Amino acid sequence: NGYYYSRWSRCFHSSRDFSDMVYVDNYIFNKDVFIQFNSTVGEFVGYTELGVHNAELWNKDPNQLQQERARVET
């Protein structure tokens, strides 16, 4: 149909000590990140009009934020 959607999640760390680990969860549409969760920030950040709208909704949901924040530990 001509549209490309993907999502990738990664953990970044610079040493064997995982206390500095950063979890990043990207939502991508047509090869552009439109919303991202970064464990350093602790909430969703939108990069497009749709992403900003969804980030505001998702940040108001404590269950969704708690799930994303817990993924750093897993």
Query: pTM for the whole thing?
Result: 0.81
Question: What is the per-residue pLDDT for 51?
Answer: 93
In contact, 34 and 46? CB cutoff 8 Å: yes
**Predicted confidence (pLDDT) per residue in 11-59, tens digit:** 887 777 777 788 999 999 988 999 999 998 999 999 999 999 999 999 9
Question: What is the per-residue pLDDT for 31?
Answer: 87
Confidence label for 1 from pLDDT (cuts 50, 70 and 90): low
Question: What is the per-residue pLDDT for 44?
Answer: 95
* Domain containing residue 33: 5-73
Give the long-range contacts of residues 41-48, CB within 8 A, separation 24 or more.
42/69, 44/68
Q: CATH number for the domain including 56? A: 3.10.320.10
Domain count, the chain: 1
